[in-house]
Structure 1
């Protein structure tokens, strides 16, 4: 019993050291200037494309654009085609950016999307990956803005 008791602190210290080393991420230096450049690129594109319905602003989307929204196809040309049709059907649709953030090559937008001005709309988090001055990948999470909430907080 005593032998087991003395080994336990050493074993625990060794396991903690191994666990710490296994889970420690190497320190990363952020390039805040590049992150801001990426953020400005995405915010400008987003506003022009989704609010002004300026299809030409998609010039910053890579031809090999990768899309994770299951309703929208991969590739720049199919992306533009999809939203050209959407904008024709919904000319009053808007996507108001509420906040934005960056981390490395990712740009995050928290957006209030509406098909029509009177709609409650949807809360959207759009995530874009930028490489070499082009938008190369996109993910989104979408949630309807409810009529009633169990708290007084808004979704924005």
Structure 2
């Protein structure tokens, strides 16, 4: 795996396990994205599938649109399972990688959400990222919820090849 793909995978695994504070056990102790200390983790509480969907879309907006990484991470349990081979489980390692690269103040990195959906207890978001690798990169992040919190994350990352055999666009 190329180093840029490995670093990007690590970055996005970290990012995907964050979220803004919501009612129901999601503490919002930090909103300053320049703070490099991970936020307080989410404590799972029983919620309806409808509420899980609301939390998922809030997470997506906070992480990928507003890019307030510390708020986004309040939706993750402390020891969430991260399936990216370039990082370890949990908030601390993921946050340390993602926060400086994906924070709102890093204007070199551009994110465009292409698709998103939620079917309890899973949500996924497909997006384009520019400014991290030499070529635009497609990413799909998948989150699994336990009640009100994200407990597991997967990602699929593909940088657009310079000379593609396929005539179909990546995005």
Identify the TM-score tier after normalising by the shorter chain.
0.5 to 0.7
Give the 3 Å change call, closer, same or farther, for CA 84–38 of structure 1 in structure 2. Answer: closer
Q: Aligned pair count? A: 122
Kindly indicate whether the alpha-carbon contact (under 8 Å) linking 1:39 and 1:102 is maintained by their aligned counterparts in 2.
yes
Is 1:68 the counterpart of 2:83 in the alignment?
A: yes
Aligned-pair distance for 1:133?
1.7
Tell me which stretches of 4 or more aligned residues in structure 1 moved more than 4 Å: none
Q: Which has the higher contact order (CA 8 A, sep 6+)?
A: 2
TM-score, length of structure 2 as denominator length: 0.58
Aligned-pair distance for 1:114?
2.3
Cα deviation code 1:64-110 (max 9, x no counterpart):
2111111122111222112234458x922233211012232111111
- Say which structure is richer in helix: 1
TM-score, length of structure 1 as denominator length: 0.63
5+ residue gaps, structure 2: 1-47
Distance in structure 2 (CA, Å) of the matches to 1:108 and 1:101: 6
5+ residue gaps, structure 1: 1-30
Structure with the greater alpha carbon radius of gyration: 1
Is 1:54 the counterpart of 2:57 in the alignment?
A: no
The aligned residue for residue 96 of structure 2 is 81
